[in-house]
Amino acid sequence: MDSSDLDLAHERFEAAEDLTVGLEEEFSILDPVTLDLVPRYEELRALADADPGLQGAVAGELISSEIEVISGPGRNLADAIARQRERRARLFALVAGQGAVLGATGTHPWADYRKQPIIDTEHYRRVADGLKYVAWRNNTFSLHVHAGCRDIDRAVKVCDRLRPVLPLLLAVSANSPFLDGRDSGLHSARTQSFTKSFPRCGIPDPFGGWDAYRAYVEFLLQTRSIVEFTQVWWSVRPHFSFGTVEVRICDCQATAQESEAMACLILACIAQAMRDVDEGVPFADPAPRLVEENMWRAIRYGLDGLLIDLDRAEEYPARAAIERLAAWTEPVRSELSIELSFPERNGAQRQREMISAGASREEVFAASVAETSRSYSQEVPA
């Protein structure tokens, strides 16, 4: 990557269409009896490539016991969800036919990261060689949402406005209480393991526009800190290849219904941030140290805790994050026909309820895998 690639990124955003949507869901590949991680990505990817309904829809994510299904570019949210439903149903059927199952928690409860092979691609060889332990340790599973955004300067400003929103989205999506064979005491151990370890990750600084963001990337290139833009792992970022704003803060979701609800909420937040940028709605970038207070609370307590209204310096119940985001995004949701529907308890809360009742980690994980298999393996009714 060099400066000419940044020129191409600028051109790609100039040609982008607002609010096209792409979804990416990451799953763990499991033995159906023991529910241990099994390194079968390469085998499953080859079979998926031979299926016309899955060609180009399956990708790898660092370790060989992880597989990702992607919608590709949908014309809008409804189109992306419809594409993802069909593709995930085909993937779950393919995996079941090969004697495996897929899990959808942000971390595997007891897997030993030292035993997970890295997939053999140039990109992930580079990641593993450059980061060593930090990469090896990253056995995590997430949900990413892309939204098309015309004009890269506008896209950077949208990312800025989403900074204080990210901890709220994380709290809603929290789904990973276990790590390394023990109860972590957290609601999103994935975020602590990945986001707090990788460089250039988590809540980005506010950049104010493309000039400052480009200068930052050029600094990274000039100092040989990165060789490709995807080594900037911020939890929200302009994606140079697709001309999108990409939100990547969330744990993967235990059920298809929750995954789609999170996609709806994230898309609404991106769309409203775009609207606010376009209309010049006043916005003061909160200091990173203030956003980090909410980030920690989301990691530790998820929806069971309290978040901070940064403008008022007041606490509020984390569950109210859904209502607050719904109220902020109501104008664009009405126009885009986006409905929000979340269960009473998110994935981490359901798991923690079982833990409190005395269930073992194996029983808790088995229950999550079972609800994942029931929901993702079928095309969810509209």
pLDDT tens across 2-49, in order?
A: 889 999 999 999 999 999 999 999 999 999 999 999 999 999 999 999
Is the pLDDT confidence value at 224 over 80? yes
Tell me the residue range of the domain where 327 lies. Answer: 3-376
How much is the average pLDDT of 197-211? 96
Q: Closest by alpha carbon to 181, among 116, 253, 110, 282?
A: 110
- Which residues have C-beta within 8 Å of that of residue 52, sequence separation ≥ 6? none
Predicted pLDDT of residue 378: 75
Length of the chain: 382
Residue range 229-248, pLDDT digits in tens: 999 999 999 999 999 999 99
User: If pLDDT is split at 50, 70 and 90, which confidence band does 1 have?
Assistant: confident
pLDDT, tens digit, 9 for 90 and up, residues 352-373: 999 999 999 999 999 999 999 9
Output phi, psi for 339, to 5 deg: -100, 145
Say what the pLDDT of residue 266 is.
98
Q: Would you say residue 278 lies in a domain? A: yes
pLDDT of residue 3: 86
Rg of the chain over all Cα atoms, to the nearest angstrom: 20
Stretch 186-205: mean pLDDT: 96
Residue 382 lies in a domain: no
Pairing of strands 58-61, 21-30: unpaired
Instruction: Say if 360 falls within a structural domain.
Output: yes
Q: What is the pLDDT of residue 65?
A: 98
Q: Work out how many domains the chain is built from and give that number.
A: 1
| Alpha-carbon span 271 to 262, nearest angstrom | 14
Amino acid 379: pLDDT: 56
73-96 b/e (C-beta count within 10 Å ≥ 16 → b) = bbebbeebbbbbbebbbbbbebbe
**Is the pLDDT score of 195 beyond 60?**
yes
What angle, rounded to 10 degrees, do the helices at 3-15 and 210-222 form?
A: 150
Q: Which two tokens stand for residue 108?
A: 């595997």
pTM exceeds 0.85 for this model: yes
pLDDT greater than 70 at residue 109: yes
Domain of residue 98, CATH code: 3.30.590.20
**Inter-residue contact 77 to 65 (CB < 8 Å):** no
What is the average per-residue pLDDT within 195-222? 96
Averaged pLDDT of the chain: 96
**98, two tokens:** 């090969």
Sign of CA dihedral 218, 199, 121, 27: negative
The answer on pLDDT for 380 being more than 80 is no
Kindly give, in sequence order, each residue whose CB lies less than 8 Å from that of residue 53, ignoring residues fewer than 6 positions away.
86, 87, 90
Looking at residue 255, its pLDDT comes to 98
Mean pLDDT of 299-325: 98
Task: Say if residues 247 and 32 touch (Cβ distance below 8 Å).
Answer: no
With H, G, I as helix, E, B as strand and everything else as coil, classify residue 309: strand
Rounded Cα–Cα distance for residues 339 and 178 (Å): 31
Give the per-residue pLDDT at 382.
Answer: 41
381 in a structural domain: no
Would 264 be classed as within a structural domain? Answer: yes
Helix (H) or strand (E) segment spanning residue 226:
none
- Angstrom distance (rounded) from CA 187 to CA 170: 10
